[in-house]
Amino acid sequence: MNAMTVAVDLAKDVFEIAVANRAGRIVERKRLTRRQFEPWIDARPAGTTVVMEACTMAHYWGRRCVAHGLAVRLLPPQYVRPYVRRNKTDRADAEGLLEAHRCGGIQAVAVKTVEQQTLQTLHRVRTQWQAARTARLNVMRGILREYGITIAVGARTAMTRIPALLDDTTSSLPALVRASLAMVLEEVRALEARVAQIDQQLGRIAREQPIARRLQQVPGVGVITATALMGAVGDIHAFRRGRQFASWLGLTPRESSSGMRRSLGRISKRGNVYLRCLLTHGSRAVLLAAQRAVRVAPHRATRFQQWAAELAIRRGPNKAAIAIANKLARRVWVVWHRDVDFDASAPCGAAAA
């Protein structure tokens, strides 16, 4: 342990601090407000190690500490919790951070830059607006069903048929209902315009960033997935191999083994849900393209396309999509970690290095 280690239990207004010496003995405790914490942390000597949970505001304070010459370790909260003894209090959390810091097996979370957090913010806002748009469409579809009008599933179908129904003055819809639905429809159009604006911003960022342009060379990875990866992955070099990156995304099997018996189950789903969803959607597009290529021109299909099409026949399209998503994650790791262009002619297992 360093000469001085500071464990900080972050909160909105009150921060609990525990300072340990080289031997790991706690020599100082403080409970500071946010206004008191800022000058206190700025006054720490260079070389001090600051340990925090990788949660809200952790990356902001991490950047501030690094700017003052302090070493920062952000630990995953789920790995810190087992070190908290007895009841859960701010003081116990700070002690648990020190104990977790002493465990060399816990991989620290890289401190995100402002640009990475900006990308995450854009994606989160975009996701919220998409969810609101879907909710409004379902409301309109449900209301119309009450009056005997059925709209098929799909946003494009709804946005085509509903305006026509509202403009039709001969329909059986009451005037008040038509007016209410018109207001909801305007809200949906406004949400679509906002989502399109964020898509333009993400597209501009993807064109300016060499990493994003390189990631888009991987089949199934577009502007949304590339920028989401750039914002969520703090440091790609923290993953030593492609399988470790796929495991971080929750795309590897959950294991329950003992002795000579090895049992692999479904994927763990322990990683970033948003990234896993994007990669899965991209893998479905890759699977459809592979099936089309094998069906139309089998002699021109790549080894990867042949493998994907055969896997879909043998295990079904859903399991095949997850397996392809695992492959895509490993290919993303190769392209990003090694800073090389994507090679479509490489064998399927080359990305797992």
- pTM of the predicted structure, to 2 decimals: 0.89
Report residue 284 CA to chain centroid gap: 18
> Would you state the pLDDT for residue 27?
93
pLDDT value of position 168 = 86
- Which pLDDT score is estimated for 323? 96
Say which amino acid occupies 39: P
Task: Show the low-confidence residues of the chain (pLDDT under 70).
Answer: 1-3, 345-353
- Per the CB < 8 A criterion, the answer to whether 243 and 323 are in contact is no
Predicted local distance difference test score (pLDDT) of residue 180: 95
CB of 245 within 8 A of CB of 332? yes
Pairing of strands 49-53, 5-9: parallel
Q: What is the pLDDT of residue 346?
A: 62
Predicted local confidence at residue 1, as pLDDT: 44
Radius of gyration of the chain (CA): 26
Enclosing H/E stretch for 31: strand 26-33
| pLDDT tens-digit map of 280-292 | 999 999 999 999 9
Tokens representing 225? 């997935």
End-to-end Cα distance, the chain: 33
